Structure 1
């Protein structure tokens, strides 16, 4: 058994550590993994194509991402930050709390791919959160900026994770249903989805509290 294909994982780690373009890192790592696994370049590209054809929603992401990249190049992040700086009442916690609610609601409706780290967090949410921090507390240091960006990413993860299970036609619901059947519990997807609602509400309250506490922490840091 060859362990060389695992080099692709190392490339992903190094690429993210060096803050390189995420899409470029993942694509190159996938190609390297395929080549080291004994596939020729033509077969690697064909495998990409088959995956896109079998999962057509991925093709939509590939269509949208170049648009997002072009918008970033021509000042999307700067414009998003400028909008927030004009809103005197905007804070990091309030902004991310609003995004958390929107992310949970859209995920609960099955719209899991309309937001995410490459689509919204990196080009919009994180720059807006940083602008809100600077609006309220002045220029922030690197550690605080990284904290705000990490919290923005975590908010997206939490909103998606606890929101998508409310949608009955999601893979996780099917997995839970099939697992419970093996233990003699035959529950419908709707039943499981309804039980996901209290978890989503609890996640919103708990993480929302953390976001509001972050505002207070940032305020104490600047004093």
Structure 2
């Protein structure tokens, strides 16, 4: 008979996130509870944690990167990036984010996924620059308008990465697609799948670029 009690860990994760508790504590606590309910002794649970950390120790790099970004922000990275944009006469939020979209898609397409991202570029650089461009062109923004600009900056990173990375044939998503198609008798090389991702990336670029230009127009009409 299947033991469903270990699934309580999933409910603990949902409840913890709903209560806005510390995500690290929620996930760790639910994992410990799941292991104990599944019949593992405390030593075995800790050993499993240690093995998972050792197998994925590259994750520890995050603890080096985040303090570096924090120090850069502490000493004025956001202010300096905003000042650079204010010095550019024709810079707009839409144009700036379109340039970032181009960069994100191209670098993702050649496998450089970690050269940009939300913590290392969007929050300390792209979002402040987008806000500075909007304020330079259209004056001080309301809180809702500022949050919308930040959301568009984050969305631009998502679109660029999501539709750019599939062009790189040595990524896990391409392998997954290949294996699923193979189970249905369609044997395709990863390179062929990557090539067919190019039209999707182009269409995604055109659609999101249009949305960014529309954002520029909406900001321009706010005072009209």
Q: TM-score range by the shorter chain?
A: 0.7 to 0.9
Q: Tell me how far 1:83 sits from its aligned partner.
A: 1.5
Partner of residue 29, structure 2? 32
Maintained 8 Å contact 2:126/2:153: yes
Q: Tell me how far 1:100 sits from its aligned partner.
A: 0.5
Whole-angstrom CA distance in 2 between matches of 1:80 and 1:137: 18
SS in 1 for 2:222: helix
Q: Tell me how far 1:74 sits from its aligned partner.
A: 2.3
Give per-residue Cα distances to partners, 1:147-184, cap 9 Å, x unaligned.
11111111111000000000011010001000111111
**Higher gyration radius (CA):** 2
Q: Tell me how far 1:29 sits from its aligned partner.
A: 3.2
> What is the aligned-residue RMSD (CA, Å)?
2.4
Maintained 8 Å contact 2:35/2:45: no
Aligned length: 214
Q: What is the correspondence of 1:177-188 to structure 2 with a 5 Å cutoff?
A: 177-188=178-189
Partner of residue 164, structure 2? 163
SS in 2 for 1:37: helix
- Structure 1 ranges of 4+ moved more than 6 A: none
Maintained 8 Å contact 1:9/1:29: no
SS in 2 for 1:3: helix
1:7 paired to 2:12 = yes
Change (3 A) 1:193 1:207: same
Partner of residue 149, structure 1? 150
Q: Tell me how far 1:46 sits from its aligned partner.
A: 6.5
What TM-score results when the alignment is normalised by the length of structure 2? Answer: 0.85
Whole-angstrom CA distance in 1 between matches of 2:98 and 2:123: 17
Whole-angstrom CA distance in 1 between matches of 2:214 and 2:33: 47
Whole-angstrom CA distance in 2 between matches of 1:38 and 1:54: 19
Name structure 1 gaps, 5 residues minimum.
Answer: 17-24
Shifted more, 29-38 versus 167-176: the winner is: 29-38
Partner of residue 64, structure 2? 63
Q: What is the correspondence of 1:168-207 to structure 2 with a 5 Å cutoff?
A: 168-207=169-208
What TM-score results when the alignment is normalised by the length of structure 1? Answer: 0.86
Shifted more, 69-78 versus 207-216: the winner is: 69-78
Q: What is the correspondence of 1:57-96 to structure 2 with a 5 Å cutoff?
A: 57-96=58-97
Partner of residue 114, structure 2? 113
Partner of residue 22, structure 1? none
